[in-house]
Amino acid sequence: MFTGLVAEMGEVLSLKKRDNGARLFLDAKSLAPSARLGDSISVNGACLTVVEIKGGTLVFDLSGETLRSTNLGRLTTGAGVNLEPSLRLDSRLGGHFVTGHIDGVGTIRTKARTGDAYKIVIAADDGLTGFLVEKGSVAVDGISLTVVDVLKDGFSVVIIPHTASLTTIGFKGPGETVNIEVDILGKYVAKFLQKGKDSRFMQTLSGEGFL
């Protein structure tokens, strides 16, 4: 479990493809000293397990499913990645609950400066936007952000200068991909409503005008 508050922007040293996966080597000087084998770390929003530590380098194994469902397989040497260690029980929850399980990959459509901030429109299919609400939470490349507009084929967010300077979203532009995780609470509510739409309880709510 994570919060979407990026602790460090690491750098890709190499991504070595294998038969049905890959091994990812990251320069993570801030997190590596306190990391332990088996730790869960969010890399661009995807929960990965530390399999090796070499000084300031963290090593992760990526499954074929991770390569298919995230943008991690497109990483190149020198690319930046957002890193966050897993949430401790005594940690402050500054963002929102992020599981590290990517729901889909979106594409930055536009990025425009508005004052000191940036407004970014991200293209995503309705399988993702159906779970988003205005002023709700969404994780983009592991960053906890607030949804500004929900569009038919995407959504928008505003990035403040602090976030832009400390995360990858600050230098990504139109055409580049981002990992998206919708708010887990929205997914549970949607499943409950879908599963129970014919129940007596739901019919009562509908009859009373709540749905």
Is 1 among the domain residues?
A: no
Q: Give the domain CATH number at 67.
A: 2.40.30.20
Is 183 among the domain residues?
A: yes
Is 184 among the domain residues?
A: yes
Question: pTM, whole model, 2 decimals?
Answer: 0.88
Of the three residues 56, 85, 114, the one that is the final residue of a domain is 85
Q: What is the pLDDT of residues 139-187, one digit of tens each?
A: 999 999 999 999 999 999 999 999 999 999 999 999 999 999 998 887 7
DSSP the chain: -B-S---EEEEEEEEEEETTEEEEEEE-TTTGGG--TT-EEEETTEEEEEEEEETTEEEEEEEHHHHHHSSGGG--TT-EEEEEEPPPTTS---S--B-S---EEEEEEEEEEETTEEEEEEE--HHHHTT--TT-EEEETTEEEEEEEEETTEEEEEE-HHHHHHSGGGT--TT-EEEEEE-HHHHHHHHHHHHTTTSHHHHHHHHTT--
pLDDT of the residue at 191: 73
Q: Per the structure, how many domains does the chain have?
A: 2
pLDDT of the residue at 95: 75
Q: Is the pLDDT of residue 118 over 90?
A: yes
Which region holds residue 209: left if phi is over 0, alpha if psi is between -120 and 50, else beta?
left
pLDDT of the residue at 124: 96
Q: What is the mean pLDDT of the chain?
A: 91
| Same domain membership, residue 121 and residue 81 | no
Q: Containing domain of residue 33, as a range?
A: 8-85
Is 165 among the domain residues?
A: yes
Is 166 among the domain residues?
A: yes
| 77-90: average pLDDT | 90
pLDDT of the residue at 190: 74
The larger pLDDT score, comparing residue 95 to residue 22, is at 22
The larger pLDDT score, comparing residue 99 to residue 190, is at 99
Q: Is the pLDDT of residue 41 over 90?
A: yes
Is 198 among the domain residues?
A: no
pLDDT of the residue at 127: 87
